[in-house]
Structure 1
């Protein structure tokens, strides 16, 4: 890192440490404070490692002594802590193995135990069964060694051992056993049945609901007893005018029971209010039991309280009063959510715990007679929606099915699930069944690897760089069938992402999967990542220029190009330069983005916003992968997708109102607007001409603050669709070009619309 880059990195790390410290010291929730304390320790490791020279932030090998293939523990922003992610304490199965073999609880001792004849045979059995689970890619290393030795490739196995043996005391190099084999690669799920079961088991009673139940079942009946006792003293309409025989002993017993109830039932505190019904009647009763007569004021206060209670619900035992208390008793007896959560957790316990749930509806059936004891006797009671939503996270199905069911709620969630499909595609090139399953699991585990902060346009570590993956590369057989399968998966994921979430920028993990699948399919396509404005160093890799050129083939002269004032033919001239084609970056493209952004070049206090403006221009020029997806041949219902983008724009604009931190929402609104313009540009001229009217009709149904904020953008869109353009400041009369980033006040946040 340069001195300037080091300063930026250190400032970021210190800022994260300060935020974590503040949360750990001041947050009201104990669990949140505990998580913050863990972040504090990790950010302290980062800061200490940077200061002491043990960390080289910005490098592909940020941790001194760890090669690039080791998965580092990475915090937000791409900062390595200095610890390997595949390290930490021994797993339970590793402890059991050490005890079984009489070994010390030591990773190195376990490492060498796997390389004995018995250990290699055990690994072979594990490979053939497929019953194992990889959390990190390193856990595939020794199984690959066992496979190579079984295949007779001793040299390749020894080569792996030379690489991994020096780190055997720090890394887990074998997988954890599992009860489940790898399932259908076409089926994905967000969480396993075991994950969901543990979440439900941890569900605690709702404090407010439990307080209400205590009031209904304990303190309301107690208040009724107090009321009945005082009613016995009424004579001639006056409270306390008489004291029936046995009244004082019964009063004393009732007060003694109050003390017991107050100790046992502590959720509801209204009974302690001296001005409340229980407080007034109980205090007066204590005076009478103590032998003290009530003053006229005290008697009047008790009389007023008794009268109010009788007027509200009637006398205890009357039909009116009984009906009220029966309804309250019914409400108190209803099953609570934590009880139903425990019931569903019990149902889940009978399913395989390491996979998703194929029949969610059966798990969410109403309570039957055999389960009544788990839910307070509520036979036929339905599972509440909050619990159903938790269970739905483990629903298993194709990505398309889960999107339709609302289980995949965002493109970010889709990105988390795509490695399973992509892994099966990548592993299909291995003919050997045991190796194919192992490489499938290795791929998925590798995708859990968090990205590092890299400088100088370095790329993240790739799967093929892992020594054990390199060692079995010769076992791959890439055929036209495997390339066709990669293309089918690529088309499927791209279509699911764009058609399912048309108004959202593709997240980097999904971009990475699409890029990998493109290479496996034999396609040279420029997939571009979303860059972080807070660590952007002002340069784009050459693929951004290639992506912009590809976009220009379809969009030159289009509505999109006219709206954003893009000269795509000029960009194609830059990209045609052979020297640039061979370069890792393009100064001309960098300069074009800076010039279009109009952001100041000198670093300043609003540098992040200035960086964001430059990055946004690169996203506009490249369409941030939308043109690349169209190049694939994905059939997009462009007019419908544009209308879906309008829905998102309206929803996001509504969130700006009274938002204390609205700039992020403004940015996302502009991104959705950009996606809308792209899809609209693929539509017919008639659809483009009619679209502003459609947007105005949708806008007419919105609140005033939404109409006011978005009106300039709608006016600008209508102006461009009719053949006009914006001036250099992005204005056309009252119309405005909608962009997300700015170093000045954004026009969507003007005081007028916010009032």
Structure 2
């Protein structure tokens, strides 16, 4: 087995396989079981590939018989399954093209057809009209070849074909025909109209709602009939004292009716429970009809049930009881959500399926006359909030609009939509408009590629490694205008991230977008990723030392440096990182040693916790891209640093409030520590002024929180107050009344005890 695989191990895939198997076997929902079966098959493929050596988990080329640039299917945790997303059965557009072109329904036959005169003409028509879609990067390969032929660069086209041909029988390299409709470059969306439609189309009847409606329309009226039946036997308040003429015939009919109802209405099983009022009445009726006298206990239960039912709702013939049942019947008559969902699904189907929704109101307005005729819903029925929510997820708007609307609730979600913006800047250097559109589409598709789990400091596959992208590099000529546009987009994206989510680490996909924009603007800033503690190998790449030096330029002698006890002037220099490999290696080794020493882990049985402490020190030294954004990109929040620090503290207190009821609180502790560190960074910037004033605001905000939150955070705020006036922590992170707040520890975390000691 590959050394990377043996180091990573199979525990994680086996755990995921087991969870998928349990869900596939036991879940009540058929669609959920089917999805679990698919997950099970994928994790089984991962384990088979690891066992046979076909998969090299941890490598940037994880599938032995696929090129590094092929888009792999990746499951949770960054594990490749061995499949290529561009492989598998023919996609619908491939089958349609094979039939239209009269060629065998095989990928190699389609590949050859695209290279005929007719095939190239068809690709060129698609290029010039823009009537295509690039779902996977491979979809752009033959379109790029057609552009190169169109541009007269046949040598580059032939080179691309030489790299593609060995895989022509397995992978799809042709585009998906599409009508070409699109929005302006500033509009983005989290989900497409097609995805929202599919989500709503899967909505079936809610079992709880169905049970409630059944109770209101079937079992409550039936219970009333049983109650009426037994009330006719009451004399002087005693049930069963006298049975009037015809009573047994009525009771026999009701028992028969019960069995009919039970067979026809399976959603609500409350009537089967022997201790419910309905269950007691039904049982007593069946016993009496069967000629079996009621026991003393059964008679007592029956008396109590009837008395309580009359006391609570009155007799079934009373006005108040009738009014209650009328209200319940009206409530039950309201349309079911899955019925109204079908109306919204029809509206979504009429929109472009691969774009966002421009107007939520246009899709979620009241039911029209035409829709009422086909759906059976009353005209003017409003679409309720649970059905409006999925449409909002598909809303198309500018990023600030989507953040303000709550459609983008986190930096992780922001990272999923910014490639739609970054693609425009990344493709801007291509002078030819047709090529620019193609490269923008390729970029967007490439950014949907899921990251692989990597070891040995390997990097993710880059866009420029795709043969067809590399082939058009000679036709890329960035000018001052395109660099300025990329710089502007970089600044705006950094501003959105800090303004929108100041308490959150920049997620790796967002870091990659920032790095792309930086590169397109002509910069070479050291953007650092978040590293996973469970596979960290004890060393950082040279850019981490360079990022720490940038942080030192901004934070020397600051509150941040005092709080975390950083001597930025003594950090290993990163000046030669870009020029000489040996200098970079030396700088990286020095930075590794510094992080290990600061973590103070020593030999440890808990390797993951020790790794986490080391990675956390790297994040502290580098500020995890904050100093790069603020010091080099010159990002400034719209509301000012003081206000951003207070907003971040609000997140800290909100996270702390969750600790008491959290069965697995350590992940929340880490989130608190990340937010806390970012807050201290904001407080340390020169524009804030005296940090002690911000600390005073923090004390006031802390006093407004619940006692449990105050008890947990008081040592952290006290430690920050001490650092603000120049005091230092000891080697254990303790001050006078305060403590330094970190996220990782190999012992119990003091934040979880509430004592701070």
TM-score of the aligned structures, taking structure 2 as reference length: 0.93
Whether 1:18 and 2:15 are equivalent positions in the alignment is yes
Hey, what's the Cα distance between the residues in 2 that align with 1:703 and 1:114? 68
Matches for 1:157-556 after TM superposition, within 5 Å: 157-234=157-234, 239-240=239-240, 243-286=243-286, 289=289, 302-367=302-367, 371-372=371-372, 377=377, 380-556=380-556
Whether 1:741 and 2:741 are equivalent positions in the alignment is no
Deviations 1:301-347, CA, capped at 9 Å, x for gaps: 54554343333222223212111111211221223332332332232
Counterpart pick for 1:724 among 708, 727, 742: 727
Contact 1:551–1:621 (8 Å) recurs in 2: yes
Who is 1:56 aligned against? Answer: 56
Who is 1:583 aligned against? Answer: 584
Who is 2:131 aligned against? Answer: 131
Who is 2:594 aligned against? Answer: 592
Deviations 1:231-286, CA, capped at 9 Å, x for gaps: 34455655555555554444433332222111101222222234433334334444
Contact 1:526–1:544 (8 Å) recurs in 2: yes
Who is 1:654 aligned against? Answer: 657
In structure 2, the CA distance between the partners of 1:724 and 1:150, relative to structure 1 (3 Å rule), is same
How far did 1:525 drift?
Answer: 1.0
Aligned to 2:459, what secondary structure does the other structure show? coil
In structure 2, the CA distance between the partners of 1:102 and 1:296, relative to structure 1 (3 Å rule), is same
Hey, what's the Cα distance between the residues in 2 that align with 1:409 and 1:330? 37
Whether 1:674 and 2:680 are equivalent positions in the alignment is no
Whether 1:663 and 2:666 are equivalent positions in the alignment is yes
Deviations 1:377-430, CA, capped at 9 Å, x for gaps: 565554333322211110000111101111000001110011111111111222
The worse-fitting range, judged by mean Cα deviation, of 117-126 and 341-350 is 341-350
Hey, what's the Cα distance between the residues in 1 that align with 2:566 and 2:704? 33
In structure 2, the CA distance between the partners of 1:296 and 1:591, relative to structure 1 (3 Å rule), is closer
Contact 1:486–1:521 (8 Å) recurs in 2: yes
The worse-fitting range, judged by mean Cα deviation, of 252-261 and 83-92 is 252-261
Hey, what's the Cα distance between the residues in 1 that align with 2:666 and 2:756? 15
How far did 1:678 drift?
Answer: 0.7
The worse-fitting range, judged by mean Cα deviation, of 419-428 and 100-109 is 100-109
Contact 1:422–1:513 (8 Å) recurs in 2: yes
Gaps of 5+ in 2: none
How far did 1:544 drift?
Answer: 0.9
How many residues are matched?
Answer: 749
In structure 2, the CA distance between the partners of 1:22 and 1:367, relative to structure 1 (3 Å rule), is closer
Who is 1:144 aligned against? Answer: 144
Hey, what's the Cα distance between the residues in 2 that align with 1:34 and 1:683? 56
In structure 2, the CA distance between the partners of 1:236 and 1:144, relative to structure 1 (3 Å rule), is same
How far did 1:351 drift?
Answer: 1.8
Contact 1:333–1:376 (8 Å) recurs in 2: no
In structure 2, the CA distance between the partners of 1:518 and 1:302, relative to structure 1 (3 Å rule), is closer
Aligned to 2:658, what secondary structure does the other structure show? helix
In structure 2, the CA distance between the partners of 1:605 and 1:174, relative to structure 1 (3 Å rule), is farther
How far did 1:296 drift?
Answer: 7.7
In structure 2, the CA distance between the partners of 1:374 and 1:701, relative to structure 1 (3 Å rule), is farther
In structure 2, the CA distance between the partners of 1:415 and 1:323, relative to structure 1 (3 Å rule), is same
Who is 2:6 aligned against? Answer: 7
Hey, what's the Cα distance between the residues in 2 that align with 1:750 and 1:250? 66
Hey, what's the Cα distance between the residues in 2 that align with 1:696 and 1:657? 21
Hey, what's the Cα distance between the residues in 1 that align with 2:301 and 2:58? 75
How far did 1:640 drift?
Answer: 1.2
Aligned to 2:661, what secondary structure does the other structure show? coil
How far did 1:165 drift?
Answer: 0.5
Who is 1:693 aligned against? Answer: 696
The worse-fitting range, judged by mean Cα deviation, of 581-590 and 111-120 is 581-590
Whether 1:632 and 2:633 are equivalent positions in the alignment is yes
Hey, what's the Cα distance between the residues in 2 that align with 1:669 and 1:296? 62
- The CA RMSD measured in Å over matched residues stands at 2.6
Hey, what's the Cα distance between the residues in 2 that align with 1:575 and 1:566? 19
Hey, what's the Cα distance between the residues in 2 that align with 1:596 and 1:296? 77
Hey, what's the Cα distance between the residues in 1 that align with 2:295 and 2:525? 92
In structure 2, the CA distance between the partners of 1:47 and 1:311, relative to structure 1 (3 Å rule), is closer
Hey, what's the Cα distance between the residues in 1 that align with 2:473 and 2:455? 29
Hey, what's the Cα distance between the residues in 2 that align with 1:398 and 1:674? 30
In structure 2, the CA distance between the partners of 1:516 and 1:360, relative to structure 1 (3 Å rule), is same
Hey, what's the Cα distance between the residues in 1 that align with 2:734 and 2:660? 23
Gaps of 5+ in 1: none
Aligned to 1:224, what secondary structure does the other structure show? helix
How far did 1:132 drift?
Answer: 2.0
How far did 1:375 drift?
Answer: 7.6
Deviations 1:614-649, CA, capped at 9 Å, x for gaps: 111111111111111112122232111111110111
Contact 2:546–2:573 (8 Å) recurs in 1: no
In structure 2, the CA distance between the partners of 1:167 and 1:299, relative to structure 1 (3 Å rule), is closer
Aligned to 1:57, what secondary structure does the other structure show? coil
How far did 1:570 drift?
Answer: 1.5
In structure 2, the CA distance between the partners of 1:370 and 1:33, relative to structure 1 (3 Å rule), is closer
Hey, what's the Cα distance between the residues in 2 that align with 1:198 and 1:614? 44
Aligned to 2:743, what secondary structure does the other structure show? coil
Aligned to 1:354, what secondary structure does the other structure show? coil
In structure 2, the CA distance between the partners of 1:66 and 1:650, relative to structure 1 (3 Å rule), is same
How far did 1:292 drift?
Answer: 6.5
Deviations 1:355-394, CA, capped at 9 Å, x for gaps: 1011112323344565456787565554333322211110
